[in-house]
Structure 1
Amino acid sequence: MSGSIYGKHFQISTWGESHGKALGVVVDGCPAGISLCEEDIQKSLNRRKPGQNRYSTPRSEDDAVEILSGVFEGKTTGTPISLIVFNKQQRSADYSEIASYYRPGHADYTFDEKYGFRDYRGGGRSSGRETIGRVAAGAIATKILDQLGIQITAYSKSIGPVVISPERFDLSQRDSNPLAMPDAVAAEEAAAYLDSCRKNGDSSGGMVECRVTGMIPGLGDPVFEKLSANLAKAMFSIGAVKSFELGDGIAASQAKGSTNNDAFSLDNSGNIVKSTNHSGGTLGGISDGNDLLFRVGFKPTPSISASQQTVNKDRKEISVSIKGRHDPIIVPRAVVVVESMAALTLTDALFSNMYTRMDHILDFYRR
């Protein structure tokens, strides 16, 4: 299947299905000499694995990663890094009925139209478990960014109608509640809302916000390879994503230039800085050195037990109630996926930027 490769210079290729034997990723373009072990990757995978609380699918997987290649004596070798996670708790029988009809909100119908065949077990390649490869590769990209002082932090900004309060923002709370919300009060309100959804056989959507600090100016290109455009593509490649906005986002369309423009000034060291950051950290598609700030909107989990109208493969209208093990909300487990895709995009942009100026090339080869 085409479309499973992402990146140009720091490139990943994910593979595997939700109910196949395993899932994984091959990372190509990683520099040699980076300290890397399975535990470095496992920390990120543990943040997205299922079965950790009542707001996650009860499918219990340890998602233990194995490094198959590209690492020797604890260091990356500069050759492709292959990572694998074995599926251990598939219950494919839960999905046998689905083969005969198209689930509302899922990719069943479009897969059939494109390929004339589909893996109906948990959605196959369109399953959320595909993100295992992204998160594993993102852990490597994050190690590269860490050495440059670039930090990526995402969290649940909203779940259904519940939105975190700036006055109560406390990042330490993100890892203290099952909804990854940096606001203890909002987390409790969101939990009550989700319990109501579950009671009614329903699900909820929400939004992830992500901030990147320590940014380097000059990343991205001015036309088709804008950093903003590549971030948008990275986020929209995540299943269930329905919106992306950078900086003020949609609000900018209702603003005036006098209020939306970010004024330039000099700091105490004589460096050029912006007094505000309505643009979200890019100008002309190129990073300006300010924090990157963007939001990603996720639709409600489409697999719900409430009755829904659909059509079967015999073109008969039927009512269905989806069985199986499903998340009542995608957002909390998607937080680390958003961070991972941002890390992959930024690492690729960093590597691409290394040859855009002749003075940089001369500095490297004449040192």
Structure 2
Amino acid sequence: MAGNSFGQLFRITTFGESHGEAIGVIIDGCPSNIKVDIEFIQSELDKRKPGQSKITTQRKESDTAQILSGVFEGKTTGTPIALLIPNEDHRSKDYDHNKDIFRPSHADFTYQSKYGIRDYRGGGRSSARETAARVAAGAIAKLFLEQKGIEIFAHVSSAGTIDAPNIKIDSVKELVEIRESNIVRCADPATANEMIEFIDQVRKDGDTVGGKVSCIIKNCPVGLGEPVFDKLHADLGKAMLSINAVHGFDYGSGFAGSEMRGSEHNDLFVPPNGDKSVTTLTNYSGGIQGGISNGMDITFRVAFKPVATIMSNQQTVDKEGNAAEIKGKGRHDPCVVPRAVAIVEAMAALVIADHWLRNEAYK
């Protein structure tokens, strides 16, 4: 199986399955002398882990990361960093009914067709459990970017048809505190309450719902990204679309920009003022022009589909092609977006860290 690695200079390779002994990640190319805050890494994992609240799956995993290599006396050594996250609460029997049946809108059919074998216990390698390894690696990338003054903030901006208003970001730290004060991880408290009630009702109905995560990258320098295939927004798009259940990505004005005129959409430049560099009056470009960061805030949104496992009967087929019926069992999220916030931030950090190192190679 190919496609388990991501990045060029700051490169990760994840391994493990949902119901195996553990999942983990190898980080190659991380610079030396980065202070490794294990408590910060754990706090990032805690935001993604299951069993957090009534609107997430009740699988109980501590997601305790073990650093096996690449760190000495609290700092990175420049050698490959290995992190291991043991699986503790995998109930494989919950998936016995899936052994010979393909779940609608899951990877079961395509995986079986491609490889001729599949781990039906929670989806194996195709499970969203794999993203815990990404969050651990993303935490290391965040610690690296912190030294460069780069901050990343994401929150749940919609659940179903409930949309949060645009938020003003003056202090990322303050917004994180607001976001973490509610179980849906929305930075607007009033909207958060509405979302929680809605998702909880969806859960009681035995159904699921999708949503969107909005992300902003602050203090990103000018010059990250390449103008042809390795555009910064292209790599961010690939990173986000590689996350389980993601069905859409847009940056800056996104699809709404297609409805505007050029006279409206153009971001007019403002001359430098004092110690400030060139800026733009508006930011419909989302901080990226010609595939290269322009120094403005990088903004994008990620759309997640409803979780495919629902607690009602659905028509499907078995591995022989015969008509069958299936009903979801076990522990599943009614809405994945509250836990996806940490994954979106992690993947953004990995992209920016990689492009920062690539840009440095030109100097």
Matched residue SS, 1:210:
strand
Which amino acid letter does the alignment assign opposite residue 131 of structure 2?
T
Alignment match of 2:294 (pick from 283, 288, 296): 288
Shift of the 312–222 alpha-carbon distance from structure 1 to 2, 3 Å rule, reads: same
Using the alignment, how far apart are the partners of 1:280 and 1:212 within structure 2? 10
**Does structure 1 residue 346 correspond to structure 2 residue 352?**
yes
Aligned to 2:2: 2
Give 2:315's aligned residue: 309
SS of structure 2 residue aligned to 1:166: coil
In structure 2, how many angstroms separate the alpha carbons of the residues matched to 1:167 and 1:222? 30
1:321 aligned partner: 327
The corresponding residue for 1:365 is none
2:226 is aligned with 1:221: yes
Cα distance, 1:318 vs structure 2: 2.0
Given the alignment of the two structures, is residue 240 of structure 1 paired with residue 233 of structure 2, yes or no? no
Q: AA paired with 1:204?
A: V
Q: Deviations over 1:90-117 (max 9, x none)?
A: 1000001101111011000000111010
Q: Structure 2 unaligned segments of length 5 or more: list them.
A: none
Aligned to 2:277: 271
Deviation at 1:268, TM superposition (A): 2.1
Q: CA deviation at 1:79?
A: 0.4
| Correspondence 1:1-367 to 2 at 5 A | 1-166=1-166, 171=175, 172-269=177-274, 271-356=277-362, 360=363
Amino acid at match of 1:279: S
Q: Which amino acid aligns with 1:240?
A: A
Q: Cα deviations across residues 24-74 of structure 1 (Å, max 9, x unaligned)?
A: 000000111111143231111011111010111111111111000011111
Give the 3-state SS of the residue equivalent to 1:145 in structure 2: helix
The structural deviation recorded for 1:311 is: 0.9
Mapped partners of 1:113, 1:167: distance in 2: 45
Contact 1:168 1:183 in 2 (8 A): no
Cα deviation, residue 195, structure 1: 2.2
Q: Equivalents in 2 of 1:31, 1:197: separation in Å?
A: 45
Query: Helix, strand or coil: the match of 1:100?
Result: coil
Partner AA of 2:342 in structure 1: V
- Tell me the number of residue pairs that the alignment of Structure 1 and Structure 2 aligns: 357
Percent identity for Structure 1 against Structure 2: 50
CA-atom RMSD in angstroms: 1.3
- Counterpart CA distance in 1 for 2:60 and 2:203 is 19
Distance of aligned partners of 1:167 and 1:241 in 2 relative to their CA distance in 1, 3 Å threshold:
closer
The answer on whether the counterparts of 2:55 and 2:333 sit within 8 Å (CA) in structure 1 is yes
Aligned counterparts of 2:62 and 2:246: Cα–Cα separation in 1: 25
User: In structure 1, how many angstroms separate the alpha carbons of the residues matched to 2:194 and 2:312?
Assistant: 23
Measure, in 2, the Cα distance between the counterparts of 1:29 and 1:234: 18
- The answer as to whether partners of 1:17 and 1:129 remain within 8 angstroms in 2 is yes
Distance 1:2 1:62 in 2: 29
The alignment's TM-score, normalised by the length of structure 2, stands at 0.96
Q: State the 1:168 CA deviation.
A: 9.4
Note the C-alpha offset of 1:324: 1.0
| More moved, 76-85 vs 189-198 | 189-198
* Separation of aligned partners in 2, 1:346 and 1:37: 20
Counterpart Cα distance in 1 of 2:292 and 2:328: 44
Q: Contact 2:167–2:188 (CA<8 Å) still a contact in 1?
A: no
**Deviation >4 Å, runs of 4+:** 167-170
Distance 2:112 2:23 in 1: 22
Contact 2:70/2:79 (CA < 8 Å) preserved in 1? yes
Q: How far has the Cα of 1:167 moved from its partner?
A: 6.9
